[in-house]
Structure 1
Amino acid sequence: MKYWQEEETYSLEQKRAVQTERLIKTVNRVYENVPFYHEKMKELGIEPGDIKSIDDLSKLPFTNKQDLRDHYPYGLFAVPMEEVVRIHASSGTTGQPTVVGYTKNDIEMWQNMMARCYTAYGLTKKDIIQVAYGYGLFTGGLGAHYGSEYLGATTVPISGGNTKKQIQLLQEFGSTAIACTPSYALYIGESMKNMGIDPRSTNLRVGIFGAEPWTDEMRETIESTFGIEAMNIYGLSEIMGPGVAFDCQHKHGLHINDDHFVPEIINPDTTELMPNGEEGELVFTCITKEALPLLRYRTHDVTKLYTKPCACGRTLTRMGRITGRSDDMLIIRGVNVFPSQIESIILKVAEAAPHYVLIVDRINNLDTLEVWVEAKEGLFTDAIKSLERVEKHITNELFSLLGLHVRVRLVEPRTIERSEGKAKRIIDKRQK
């Protein structure tokens, strides 16, 4: 079978009919079951009956990450909790996560979408897929895992880290595909070379890389390092997790599963709809999800959309690479980090002044984050042990909040540059 499902090659008329039917059902469901959307629609003067086709999508209200935080944990769920079979969550700007729920049908749909991705990469049930994304509340590991099983492939659930073990299993289990962040793939390759192992000597033929921004140059480096096809995958927990969009073997944009997630591009400042092919902020509406069907969710990812069918034959809407963010979020090794998260910790430390800067770099192909924090007057006259104690305290608090190892460095008062306008909180040294 050339394609996983016929929906991937729908005609425009077929796609619009399916999207319209599913959108109308979704709008009715959230209007009746989610007070937030009921009130939002009333404020805009619209009722479910006003949504007659997919062309009416722009009449609906936007949803933001803050809306999920304001209704933490389950306030935007459209089903009772006894129908929710799984919870995932992502970090928030103040340590409060955004919570995502899934019904049994949602999980099956997610597995199906991931299997679509794997099929587009040329994978089959004959493959052995090593899942090196983190498991737990993060959607990456379990999303990749259950999609692999749904495809019928052999799944190796090693999770992230433990690089020597990763290499051992690549060699001994004969893994033909690996799912991880692109920066971690390069780190594995570097580690193999340091161990005297040729990264091209394994059975790997496909890499499934996502959870952080990466360039075509990094793709070329990974492919030459391992001798594999490096395939991109896109997702976000609020919409589903990995599998919202995927590369095909032509690598001319990511195919969006738009029979489940309807994309739009807006001007992030005016929220005005942008024409196909013009850059703006990506917005998604979920039209098949049961537990958390978000309307017009603003991702803050900047990209373009293309509706022309791909050379592979798929007619799914395609998106270009993410070129930036319309907010100040960083993605460090798959973890979302906001400067305000760091600030929330620093402001609780008596010895620290409210001046800091985040220094992002890429060392040995892994993203690193270092936080410089100004000490209050007098601390530098104390013993070095006092400085180390404060640094360790902030480090531990940040790890507890982010689940990410961050290096903290206390610097002398008035070291960090002041600004009369918006403070420059981020110095990103990674190559663009």
Structure 2
Amino acid sequence: MLRSGIDQMRYAAGILRGRLRPDVLTRVSQDLVATLREFGTVGDDSQLLPGRQGVIDPDVQNTITTRALRRTAGRAAAQTAYYGRLFGELGIRPEELTADTWSQVPPTSKASLRAMPAAFVASGSVPYLMAATTGTTGTPTVVWYSQGDLENVIALSTIAMAMTLGVRPHDVVATGVSSRATLGYLVTAEIVRRVGAAFVQIGSIAPELVLERLATPLNLPGRAPRITNFSAPASVFASLVETAERDGWRPADFGLTDLLSGGEVVSEALRARVEEAFGVAPERAYQATEILPAGGAHCSQGHLHYPAEFGHIELLDPRTLEPAAPGGAATLVVTPYVPYRECTMLLRYVTNDLVRVPDTTPTCELAGMAASSDILGRYDGPLSVAVPTRSILDLLEAERAIPLPARYCLVDEPGGPVLHVVARQRSARILGRLEERAAALGVAVKGIVVHDDAELLPARNTVRADLREYSFDSAGQVGGGDEYQRAVRPGDGGDPSRGVRSDEALAGSRP
């Protein structure tokens, strides 16, 4: 206990000095794991753990933020080619920046990072791991991590997983993500090792095989009878729900106690269907390869909260990149802090992840942290703000006549956007239910077109469940994602007359 207290004080002192020893943070996480293993819970001093801050005096927080921004900007300007040139051209002096003048630093776009990732790597660091984003389209974004960066992420993630998901030594933890997610795979495997649990990498395979592996008895000494913890993107959970409902799987067929989903929007409708299929609803997490360890945690009231110690969070209008108004849509703009990040440096990185700014100050258990709504989707133009992904998924994933993952697209037409969606059959009854629910949810579309064939969608929407890894045991098995990849090509369309359509405006306000 004495060593744990000393390490926590060393951690706090290191943050103030801007020099964090990864071994200190590692020991803090190890002490937490040991405490949970012995006592099953932690005491009131858990608020002293990294990422668990309580309410901080605004003046104190402003001073801490200013120091962190200056320290991070100073390293970026002195050691990276991109920010060194940018600060020189604009005459920005890192030592003079404050939280109030931080907007002098131009935002950094994904396109800039993607075009020249080496220009963002600090010369004083030793690159160790290249982590790439796992989106399903286009060139992935690359971020380099040093060994210290990776150790920090692992230690902080160990604290989060042990506290939030309650992973214990008897658990068997599995992941259903693509092997492209190198960072997530390495971090999860190491967390499980430190906790003393067991790890299974299922990967991105056919949902029938995933369900079989989740249900298969393990017969391992000292371990749970079946896999207890499973993490995967939302679209993978959607494909599992579709298959489980079709093939008659029940919660009693599994031994799952905790589920975790990230990387894609998790609608409330999907959470409910996952709980129905597996007996437990998935927890949500907001993390991104580019900004770790900065990220967000959900409170009991559904807000997304951002610990101030790991990075600076801004909620900016996605079109103007100026501060978004209360109640308005915003994109998350993030600056991961030194000393948590020392390799790839990013200042005011525009994630393009959409949220909504709270109308009022939250009163939840995490009210001491900056907050937003849950992730609404990705910003790719005004249409994505008017009809965000979350509103569409809340509509479609509650309708049992629509196969999961939902296949849809929006077409901007005179008078408003039209939602095209694939259902099991063309039916006026299905269309009527969708229209009624869209009006109740306030989904701002002019009309809905129901198709029974993915080839008729005017455009293709890909999801992480489409990232499929093949093996001999899946030879000859074709899932919905495989059929979709063969049948739908970018720009393909079809005869709209084959769909059931309503052009009548749907009631409801902008989501």
* Fold in common (TM above 0.5): yes
More strand by share: 1
Name the structure 2 match of 1:303.
355
Q: Please give the alpha-carbon distance, in whole angstroms, between the structure 1 residues aligned to 2:204 and 2:159.
A: 23
Cα separation, 2, equivalents of 1:260 and 1:65:
20
**CA offset at residue 230 of structure 1?**
1.8
> Do 1:140 and 1:211's aligned partners in 2 also have CA atoms closer than 8 Å?
no
Q: Give 1:28 deviation, angstroms.
A: 0.8
The residue number in structure 1 matching 2:238 is 186
1:245 counterpart = 2:284: no
Asked if 1:289 corresponds to 2:361, the answer is: no
For 1:323, the equivalent position in structure 2 comes to 376
Are the aligned partners of 2:304 and 2:371 in contact in 1 as well (CA < 8 Å)? yes
Aligned with 2:320 (options 270, 274, 280): 270
1:238 to partner: Cα distance: 1.7
Q: Give the equivalent residue in structure 1 for 2:420.
A: none
Secondary structure of residue in 1 paired with 2:179: coil
* Structure 1 residue corresponding to 2:261, chosen from 209, 220, 227: 209
User: Whole-Å Cα distance in 1 between the matches of residues 383 and 227 of structure 2?
Assistant: 31
1:67-111, CA deviations, whole angstroms, 9 ceiling, x for partnerless residues? 11331x422111467x11111123799954321100112112222
Partner SS state of residue 407, structure 1: helix
Matches within 5 A, 1:218-257: 218-240=270-292, 244-248=295-299, 250=300, 252-257=302-307
Structure 1 residues 7 and 139, CA gap change in structure 2 (3 angstroms) = closer
Count of residues in correspondence between the two structures: 355
Among 9, 17, 22, the alignment partner of 2:68 is 22
- SS of equivalent residue, structure 1 residue 25: helix
Match of 2:84 in 1: 38
Once the two structures are TM-superposed, the CA of residue 43 in structure 1 deviates from its matched residue by: 3.1
1:103 aligns with 2:136: no
SS in 1 for 2:282: strand
Cα offsets for 1:319-376 (capped at 9, x unmatched): 3122233216999xxxxxxxxxxxxxxxxxxxxxxxxxxxxxx963225589xxxxxx
Q: Are the structure 2 counterparts of residues 403 and 179 from structure 1 closer, same or farther at C-alpha, using a change threshold of 3 Å?
A: closer
- Given that 2:80 and 2:345 are in contact with CA atoms closer than 8 Å, whether structure 1 keeps it comes out as no
Q: Is 1:84 the counterpart of 2:136 in the alignment?
A: no
TM-score, with structure 1 as normaliser: 0.70
Please give the alpha-carbon distance, in whole angstroms, between the structure 1 residues aligned to 2:92 and 2:78: 13
From the two aligned structures, give the one with the greater helix fraction.
2
User: Following the alignment from structure 2 to structure 1, what is the Cα–Cα distance between the partners of residues 281 and 264?
Assistant: 18
Write the distance in 2 (CA, Å) between the matches of 1:7 and 1:413: 46
Measure, in 2, the Cα distance between the counterparts of 1:365 and 1:413. 21
In structure 2, the partner of 1:157 is 201
Residue type of the alignment partner of 1:246: A
Provide the aligned C-alpha RMSD in A.
3.8
Fraction of identical pairs, as percent = 23
Aligned match of 2:113 in 61, 68, 71? Answer: 68
Contact preservation (8 Å) 1:106, 1:291: yes
Equivalent residue, structure 1, for 2:404: 365
2:90 aligned partner, one-letter code: L
Q: In the aligned structure 2, how far is the partner of 1:410 from the partner of 1:161? A: 22
Work out the CA distance in 2 between the residues paired with 1:88 and 1:166: 25
Q: Give TM-score scaled by structure 2 length.
A: 0.60
Q: In structure 2, how many angstroms separate the alpha carbons of the residues matched to 1:60 and 1:411? A: 37
Q: Structure 1 unaligned runs (5+)?
A: 332-361, 371-390, 392-397, 418-431
Letter in 2 for 1:111: I
In structure 2, relative to structure 1, the CA distance for the partners of 1:411 and 1:78 (3 Å cut) is: closer
